[in-house]
Structures are given as structure tokens and as C-alpha cells.
Amino acid sequence: MENNNRLSQDEIDALLKGGDDNNGEQPESGLSPMEQDTIGEIGNISFGSSATALSTLLNQKVEITTPTVTVVERSQLNEEFPHPYVSIGVSYTEGFSGNNLLVIKQDDAAIIADLMMGGDGTNADPSLGEIHLSAVQEAMNQMMGSAATSMSTVFSKKIDISPPEVDLLDVKEGEGTDHIPEEDPLVKVSFRLKVGKLIDSHIMQLYPLTFAKDLIDELTNQDSGEQPVQTEEAPPVQEKAAASAAPTPTPSPKKEPAPKRQGTTKVSEPVQVTPAEFASFDSQAEAQPHLNNLDMLMDIPLSVTVELGRTNRSVKEVLELSSGSIIELDKLAGEPVDILVNQRVVAKGEVVVIDENFGVRVTDILSQAERINKLR
């Protein structure tokens, strides 16, 4: 009876392997553990610099931890993204060919938008308008730009991306799903995102499995490409070793001093030195270049600008501008306007209307000394 209750070695192996017929290996359509580690390391390096860029923008401490890599089917997206999200789509324009989709919770995106617009992020409105989405787009643009720069260092080539496209994503309602890559399956890289004490959530990266394979192959080929360089240098070394081992070339080092002796005889030869001859210049030749130079300056185009006034506004105030908004300038009504040449003030004037076109009547020109001081 005791022998009947014991498990055979095959049964023990089956239990340890979890009954998996593939011996714990990923299916052909997925990623092996080594490939998952490679993708995770690429994401860790690229988004490490993105945390610094986002911290500078938000004026908050930003932490992006080591990612978790999984392979998901398109039919599983409802389970992977159950809440309303904000998607940021990016395409690679140089270095790689593929799409990359960043996904962040809508509440977290509202906090980021509020911080970008000068708020403290505590009372962020979860309903994102166009202004808030533009703020999120700028933040993600800085993040992905920094990530592309880090990837350029990893892959030793220039990598550039397109401007990000921001949209609301609700998989259950079918909203914003057009930006999700059409390939199946997809690779999901999930990072833990912490922004001060305001956000402790996840930001996810979603791209096709074929693109992930391209990244892995590119990095693997880059590492293996260094070996042929050493093998090409090996034959000359063997030739040198064979030459040193051969008995016949031994007298060759004795012939080396010979060129040095020939060199000493060449130095002792007399050197012919002749004085330099210059063309003569008369008074007419001296005066002519000045006139020619002045004529050349006459054809140089200059940019003339009339400045009505200036003002300073914060990023929040600029984002809140709309049709009909009024911007108050630092000049009074009727005050002379500035006339600038190549961004330098040279005169004052008053605005006039000439045949339904605006013009400026010059009322005062700065002196030569004042113009020189403006140029300094």
C-alpha cells in the first residue's frame, strides 16, 4: 500500500513543471524570459532619464521603477485597461520603424496637467479639456524625447520620434482604440510611476511584439558585431609572430640605422632662400576696395520690425487664451512705437493708415552713439 501511495519520478517532474508540456518555455508567439529581461532593461534605461525630465517640468520628485514585461492579446485589453485612460501615441521616424503607445490613468493625467498649468495637483479636475490634454501632451513629449535620446546611446545610432498624439482611451466603450497598434499580440511594459505624494500608480508602454523582437535583434547584433573586428586583426598579428620566428629576417633590424644616416646628409645640403615678392599698391588701388565694399553692403537685406508693446504672461495664462481674449501691453495709448532693425531699436514713430494698410511715420531717430550702445 505504501508503494502505491508514492509518486513516481515522472509524476514529481510533472508537478514541479506545473503540468506544462512546453517545459516552462514561452510559446513561439511570446517572449522568452531572457527576451523579457532585455526589453525590461531597455525600458529601464530609456525611462530613467524620462523621470528626470518629468521631475523638472512638474517641480516634483518623480520615480519610475523597473518595469514588468508581459505579452497580451488584443482580446485581453478589456481586462488590462479597465479604467478610463489617456493614450499618447508616438511613431519612430528615424532609427526604428514602429509605433509606441503610452497609457496613463485619466486621474493621473489630470494631476500632471494641473501641475503643468501652475497648480498644486491636489484639486485636479478629472474631466480633461483640450487645454489639459495639451499640457499632458507637452509633458509626454519631453519624456519620450528624453527616452529616445537614451535609446540612441544604447543602440549607438540616432533615434528620433514624431510629435505625440494624445487622446482619451476607454476600451470598454470603444473610445480612442484607433491608436492601439493593430498587430496581435502586443507587448505591455508596465512601470510604477510616483510623483511626489500625488501619484502612486502605473504608466504602461504598449507596442507590437514584432517591434519588440526588432529591438532585441538590434541589440543582440550590436553586441555580436564587435567580434568580427577582432578576428580581422588576428591575421596581421600572426604574420608578425611568424616573421619574428623566421631565421632569415633577423638581419633586417640592422638596416634600420641606414635611413637615419642618409637623413643627416640631406640636412647638411645648402638650403636656397629667396626673398618674398609683393605686388606694389598705389593710392588708387587703396581707395577702390572701400567703395566696392560699401556697394556690397548696400544689397544686404535687413529685417525691420515695429513693436507695439510687450508683456509677460505665465504658461497657465497663455494656455487659457481663447478667441476674444485681450492682452494688455506695457505701452500707453498714443505712445510712440519702437522701430527695430535686426531686433535693435533705431527709431521711434507713430502708427498711421495708408490705403487701408498700416504704416509708421518716423518721429525720432536715435543718435549714432545711442545706436552703438544698443548694439553692445
pLDDT in tens, 218-259: 887 765 554 444 444 444 444 444 444 444 444 444 444 444
Mean of the per-residue pLDDT values of the chain: 75
Q: Please, what is the angle between helix 130-155 and helix 33-58, to 10°?
A: 130
Is the pLDDT at 14 greater than 80? The verdict is no
Q: Sort 36 into a burial class: Cβ within 10 Å, 0-12 / 13-18 / 19+.
A: buried
User: From CA 234, how far away is CA 246, in angstroms rounded?
Assistant: 19
Asked if residue 40 lies in contact with residue 216, where contact means CB atoms within 8 angstroms, the answer is: no
The angle formed by the CA atoms of residues 253, 254 and 258, to the nearest 5 degrees, is 110
User: From CA 18, how far away is CA 23, in angstroms rounded?
Assistant: 9
* Span 23-70, pLDDT tens digits: 444 444 478 888 888 888 888 888 877 888 888 888 888 888 878 888
Q: In CATH, which of 3.20.20.70, 3.90.1300.10, 3.40.1550.10, 3.10.580.10 is domain 33-221?
A: 3.40.1550.10
Instruction: Give me the DSSP letters along 3-58.
Output: HHHSPPHHHHHHHHTTT-TTTTPPPTTS--HHHHHHHHHHHHHHHHHHHHHHHHHH
The structural domains of the chain, with segments of one domain joined by +, span 33-221, 302-320+328-374
302-320+328-374 architecture in CATH? Roll (2.30)
In this prediction the pTM is 0.51
Per-residue confidence band for 22, with pLDDT thresholds at 50, 70 and 90 = very low
Q: Give percent of the chain above pLDDT 90.
A: 0
Same topology between domain 33-221 and domain 302-320+328-374 = no
